[in-house]
Amino acid sequence: MSAAGTLFDRLDDEWPAVVRAAAAAGVPARWAVEDEALAPFAAGLDVLVAATEDRAVSAAAKDRVLVALAGRAAVDEVAARTLVQVLLPGGRALAHRFGWLGSACAGLVVAELWAGVRTYPVHRRPGRVAANVLADIGKTLLHSEGRPPVELVPLDEVDEADLVAEGHVGAGELLSVLAAAVGGGWFPVRSARLIAVTRVLGVSCAEVAAAEGVAVQSVRRRRLRAEAALAGGVRSAA
């Protein structure tokens, strides 16, 4: 099992104990009285987390719950832990996508999850809590000092449903092409990383330029050359 799998599995394994302890302390029942958005979940935190995973529940309804949790998370450790549990699948996906950062990546993601939920600025960003926290973590990972090894993250560990849900149509196909190109030894990892972070993860060329300390036009030209080389290589291999 990978380091990421071990760490995220450990958090999943401890979650039932958190649920039981919170119920014994009357936390969900108290929240239900104090906050209308949390009123349906007096039965337990497991019910709350299940609702955020239910496709039948609207995105707006889910976000109201997450905003309520985020509003408490700065001073309420149970609220923070509950929000971390909700975001754990997204955090796990990020750890896999940035697997080139090595075994420390999972720990960095979890640390950033905790920091993100405990300091989330509800009044300044009163919506899209999950998307905002995970996007912030992605930018932190992008700007870290880790460097990719000779191959990309194994694509069987990337959740296609997550990519589609984030609006990256065709992202899975692009990642597959990049991984095959790098694995075939004819396409540079640095070029594949640039295409992946800007075309799949939604990082702008301006953000990449700022992280690297170069001009935006330089990044754009580099990406154009990389995409042209990738397209040419794919045509040659066909």
pLDDT score of 156: 36
Do both 199 and 226 map to the same domain?
A: yes
Residue 189 vs residue 129, higher pLDDT: 129
Residue 27 vs residue 209, higher pLDDT: 27
pLDDT band at 149 (very low <50, low <70, confident <90, very high): very low
With CA atoms as reference, report the closest residue to 188 among 131, 227, 140, 145.
Answer: 227
Question: Could you please report the per-residue DSSP string of 27-89?
Answer: HHHHHHHH-GGGGGGTT-HHHHHHHHH-TTS-HHHHHHHHHHHHHHHTT-HHHHHHHHHHHHH
Do both 171 and 206 map to the same domain?
A: yes
Do both 42 and 106 map to the same domain?
A: yes
Overall average pLDDT of the 63-73 stretch: 95
pLDDT band at 101 (very low <50, low <70, confident <90, very high): low
Do both 94 and 29 map to the same domain?
A: yes
Do both 16 and 128 map to the same domain?
A: yes
Segments in 76-215 forming alpha helices (H):
77-97, 104-118, 129-142, 160-165, 171-183, 189-199, 205-212
CATH number of residue 200's parent domain: 1.10.10
| Residue 119: CB atoms within 10 Å | 12
* Rounded Cα distance, 133 and 90, in Å: 10
Cβ(219)–Cβ(212) below 8 Å: yes
Do both 15 and 116 map to the same domain?
A: yes
pLDDT score of 199: 74
pLDDT score of 70: 95
Number of domains in the chain: 2
Question: Nearest 5 degrees, angle CA 156-CA 220-CA 105?
Answer: 35
Residue 23 vs residue 111, higher pLDDT: 23
- Residue ranges making up the domain that contains 84: 3-142
At 226, list the tokens.
Answer: 């990389």
For residue 148, tell me if it sits in a domain: no
Does pLDDT of 86 surpass 90? Answer: yes
Residue 83 φ/ψ, nearest 5 degrees:
-65, -40
Whole-structure pTM value:
0.61
For residue 149, tell me if it sits in a domain: no
Residue 141 vs residue 36, higher pLDDT: 36
From residue 11, give the alpha-carbon distance in Å to each of 15, 97, 104, 129, 168. Answer: 6, 19, 16, 20, 28
For residue 26, tell me if it sits in a domain: yes
Do both 30 and 136 map to the same domain?
A: yes
* pLDDT > 90: percent of the chain: 38
For residue 150, tell me if it sits in a domain: no
At 110, list the tokens.
Answer: 């979890």
pLDDT band at 102 (very low <50, low <70, confident <90, very high): low
Helix axes 104-118 and 59-73, enclosed angle (nearest 10): 80
Do both 126 and 180 map to the same domain?
A: no
Q: pLDDT (tens digit, 9 = 90+) per residue, 12-67?
A: 999 999 999 999 999 999 999 999 999 999 999 999 999 999 999 999 999 999 99
User: CA dihedral defined by 165, 145, 110, 176, rounded to 10 degrees?
Assistant: 30
Does pLDDT of 3 surpass 50? Answer: no
Q: Which residue has tokens 């309520």?
A: 68
Do both 190 and 125 map to the same domain?
A: no
Does pLDDT of 162 surpass 60? Answer: no
* Rounded Cα distance, 231 and 205, in Å: 20
pLDDT band at 148 (very low <50, low <70, confident <90, very high): very low
For residue 147, tell me if it sits in a domain: no
Which residues are CB-neighbours of 90 under 8 A, at least 6 positions away? 130, 134, 162
